[in-house]
Chain A
């Protein structure tokens, strides 16, 4: 196999600690505890190495990345290395002082997550009273400071009827971008699938609302829409292809091709504690496993779309079909497609209570 192209972006998951408990959180079920977290110097080395490899953008994420007191120092280091820096935050720990520190450090952009457009439901989803009000304050502070702001809404059966209100809130708060992202069903999201999975009618309604709003808001606010692949005909090109564009570093320093890749069995998770980022990117067995198309089974191997969607998501294939090398069950041609149809038909009329994301709460 020839050398892979350099990665475009780095997701730096600084910590899994977070004040909120969203039931669709993209963190793994086994959250890494604070004592395992990389220290400031480790992260600086990772950022420098990433910039040298050709990474253009770093996304500081978590958990709640603002739970790390060294965040401004890391942002300043990223800026010095020429990386574009994005902060993905719940806003719960944001105040005028630390916002100013981040701006002074050279932060380029903030993505602020909301759980709903309306406080009561938002606080229920985040499992914290007052969370929504705190986020509104955070958005005001960011707006006043002037940093470009993206609002992120993860949507599901219990909030998707309020997409119009979410868009209105984003407009009102002066966001430059808004992300309306249907829940992805891995980890915590999969655990909560019955409480989250929308109906086909709900999905179609969100698509319609977003399409109309895009026309209306053109040039003022752009909308990123993530579709729920359960209702699609073909899977998503997960991460733009395994090990093609994207690197994820976990709080403890594991380097992954996507944030769910830790679930892949039988292969060692490479770590920045042991090897350079460049060496991992090029040579680690985990990164080579599903790079390109050689590994593909049928029906993907002889399919015309194999370089469009790369056979879909490996972690979804593993989580649903029990085999990371299988065709993503979302695909209509996949042998495991029944699993998706079944999940949709067996969706209960009334959503069950949430199984909240927190340390030690992974067991069903």
Chain B
């Protein structure tokens, strides 16, 4: 289960990609492309295979001046969902 201590990376064969034509972001994955909403994009851009989830939350709190516990819940739900979809993996 992904927690604040987890360090995540994109699984091989998945990536976040900006679509110039539609001006939206997609998560490219084997044989499908998921639309990524603006919040997911903010989170996913911080995934670099070295920073842990807690570190990502700190950065998001600063950037959006929002209470940490509220952000934490949403972000963990998002990350767990993407791990189930095999887009992200814990290192």
Footprint of B on A, CB under 8 Å?
6, 8, 52-54, 56-57, 59, 82, 84, 86, 108-109, 111, 146-148, 150, 176-177, 218-219, 222, 224
Contacts and interface: CB of A to CB of B under 8 A. Distances in A.
Contact of A82 (B11, B12, B17): B17
Interface stretch (B20-28, B36-44, B61-69): B20-28
B76 interface: no
Contacts of A53: 21
Interface of B: 11-15, 17, 19, 21-22, 26, 28, 30-31, 33, 83-86
B30 A176 contact: yes
A56 B33 contact: yes
Nearest to B22: A54
A147 B12 contact: yes
Contact of B13 (A52, A109, A222): A109
Contacts, number: 55
A108 B21 contact: no
B19 A147 contact: no
Contacts of A108: 13, 28, 30
Nearest to B32: A57
Contacts of B28: 56-57, 84, 108
A66 to B, nearest CB: 18
A146 B12 contact: yes
A83 to B, nearest CB: 9
Contacts of B22: 6, 54
Contact of B86 (A6, A147, A219): A219
A57 B33 contact: yes
B84 A109 contact: no
